[in-house]
Structure formats: structure tokens, C-alpha cells
Amino acid sequence: MAVQLYDPDVAPSPDEWLALDESERTTLIAAYHEQAGIDLPNARFHAVLHTIIENQIAMGDQVPVAAAVKRLVEEGLSRHEAIHCLMQTMAEHMKAILASPNARGANDRYYAKVQALTAYDWLNRGDPDEPPPVRPRPKRLRFRP
């Protein structure tokens, strides 16, 4: 059965996820955020980065992203928050590649940053003197296509 709904707090089956066309994956992610009422400055770019991270998670042990999500969730982030943490790291990676005339070793640097991520650092990315925010877990939303 193919993925018909996307919930960032529930990992899709890697085989089913990767069997979808790239545009279908991005559409499912965009639909989730729209139906959840999440206001984004650039919803399309957000969905594309989300898709990249989900794709990397689905790759399993080929890249360190799935292990990072598992670790970040164990440290207290929701799966969706962990994905956003990784999205920020990916965006920084992409910016560095675009700014550098020689991107040799860029993926190794990205993977090292992924492996170094912590929930504490993500939650305290603003003021380092502030304690991590306390927030309730979001309610699960049900979507119909």
C-alpha cells in the first residue's frame, strides 16, 4: 500500500516512501502543513527540504540522518522537530555549497554536523542563557486526501 497521508511524527515505510515520485512526496508534505494550519514564509521550499530529509531517513544506514532523528527523539524532540533541526542543517549545507567555489568534502562536513546535532542545541538556538522551552506535544491530526 502506498503512502497516502503524511504525518511528520510517524515515520513512513522507507520502501513505500521511496516508491513515490519525488513530486508526490513533496505534495504530501505540503498538504500536511497546509491542513495543519502551519503558516510558512515559503511553503514550497519548506516542503522540498522536508522531502530531502525524509528521503535521507528512508535511506537508512547509508547516511547518518535516520540515526540522528532517532537520537534527537530520544533526547526529547518530536520527530517533526528533529526533521526541522535537520532541515536547518541541510539549508546551511546548501548555502555553504553555493557560496564556495570548491565544495570538495561538503557531504562529509554535512554528515559530521548531522552527527553532532543535539536536542539541547536545537532548543537553545536563540539565547544560550535561556532554558529550553517547555511545550506540550502536538495533537495528532488526521487527514483525508
Q: Which has the closest alpha carbon to 93: 59, 53, 33?
A: 53
8 within some domain: no
132 within some domain: no
Contact 62, 71 (CB under 8 A): no
81 within some domain: yes
9 within some domain: no
144 within some domain: no
- Containing domain of residue 81, as a range? 14-123
Average pLDDT, the chain: 85
pLDDT at 3 over 80: no
Q: Answer whether 0.85 is exceeded by the pTM.
A: no
What is the average per-residue pLDDT within 22-45?
Answer: 92
136 within some domain: no
CA distances from 65 to 58, 60, 73, 130, 138 (A): 9, 8, 12, 28, 23
Our count of domains for the chain comes to: 1
Q: pLDDT per residue over 34-93, tens digit each?
A: 998 888 889 999 999 999 999 999 999 999 999 999 999 999 999 999 999 999 999 998
pLDDT at 27 over 80: yes
71 within some domain: yes
Q: pLDDT per residue over 96-121, tens digit each?
A: 888 887 778 888 999 999 999 999 88
35 within some domain: yes
